[in-house]
Amino acid sequence: MGFVKTAEEIRKIQSIYSRIQFLNTRNLTVTFETTTESIRALLPPPLEPTPEPLGVAWVGDIGNSNCVGPFMSLALYIRARYQDIVGNYCIASAMSTPEATMFARDLWGEPAKLAKLMFESQDEFVWGSAERYEVRYMSLRGRLTGAAATGRREHSFFHFKYAPRANGTGFDGAPQLVLVTADTTVEVGKRGRGELVFRDSAHDPVSEIPVKQVVEAVYTQGHTYVTARTLCEVDPDEFMAYSFSKTDAFDVVGEGTLLHAQAARKTRVGRGQYRN
């Protein structure tokens, strides 16, 4: 396939876009309780908080896919609602390959960034982390001693899809709220105690989200099939303040590597360790 596609090639590409397949996945999910105030501050309209102020940290090892091959991914979500749909709004996302990073950003608007990811397991322990600019800004771990449910389940995720105007001011068009639906078949499920560590990072400020307590850690293996649709257009002026989650801190990047090294030394120990 070259720069200009045939009608048959276009049909093949669009069939992949319409139903993404993530196969032979290993996943660790750590659910935590945060504050209603922080969720309200982080949610762009028209998303609204749910009664329980919950966050979700997730790391996964995708054995293969029908779009970008194998990769690892990590994400941080907060629980949200749009009308009668309850799902997880993606605050931050990291991918281990450029292909996966570009695919998620272009298709769904996911705030994915290229990062050094790790996913490991030994005996009853499973752990993973994301590192950028020499800062391991997010780590999660589970000690899994009990069984979790297997079978088929569905999860919903919210992203905002938008493009900055070429002159740097405003957007090309109205940002769109996108609903991503993951239809997962869980073949192996385990649960237990969880641990979550956030470290300060100018580029990935996850440590600004308070963690009151970790609820639990769940490990799964299985396959996931993903579809997506646009829910609505959102007000560009209201969304502007939330639209920089996909970019790094320009002032720090402009200062060069010295500030990155200083930040790495400052934050290596970690701001908080949260366990259930």
Q: How would you label 206-224 residue by residue, b for 16+ Cβ within 10 Å and e otherwise?
A: bbebbbeebbbbbbbbbbb
Residue 117 located in a structural domain: yes
Residue 11 located in a structural domain: no
Q: How far, in Å, CA of 160 to CA of 82, rounded?
A: 13
CA angle 98, 99, 101 (to 5 degrees): 65
Looking at the predicted structure, is the pLDDT value of residue 225 above 70? yes
pLDDT band at 276 (very low <50, low <70, confident <90, very high): low
Looking at the predicted structure, is the pLDDT value of residue 258 above 90? no
Residue 10 located in a structural domain: no
Looking at the predicted structure, is the pLDDT value of residue 275 above 80? no
Domain count, the chain: 1
Domain holding 229: CATH number?
2.40.400.10
Distances, alpha carbon 108 to alpha carbons 68, 75, 100, 242, in Å: 15, 14, 12, 16
Residue 219 located in a structural domain: yes
Average pLDDT for the chain:
93
What local confidence, expressed as pLDDT, does residue 271 receive?
52
Domain holding 154, by residue range, is 21-275
Q: Using one digit for the tens of pLDDT, what is the confidence trace for 68-112?
A: 999 999 999 999 999 999 999 999 999 999 999 999 999 999 999
Inter-residue contact 29 to 56 (CB < 8 Å): yes
Residue 250 located in a structural domain: yes
DSSP 184-216: EEEEEEEEEEEEEEE---SSS-GGGS---EEEE
Residue 212 located in a structural domain: yes
Looking at the predicted structure, is the pLDDT value of residue 263 above 60? no
Which residues are paired to 128 by β-bridges?
A: 119, 140
Question: What's the predicted TM-score (pTM) here?
Answer: 0.92
Q: Using one digit for the tens of pLDDT, what is the confidence trace for 30-44?
A: 999 999 999 999 999
Residue 201 located in a structural domain: yes
Q: How far, in Å, CA of 237 to CA of 214, rounded?
A: 35
Residue 2 located in a structural domain: no
Q: Using one digit for the tens of pLDDT, what is the confidence trace for 105-153?
A: 999 999 999 999 999 999 999 999 999 999 999 999 999 999 999 999 9
Average pLDDT over residues 224-252: 94
Question: What is the 3-class SS of 57-113, one letter each residue?
Answer: EEEEEEEEECCCCCEEEEEEEEEEEECCEEEEEEEEEEECCHHHHHHHHHHHCCCEE
- SS3 state of residue 265: helix
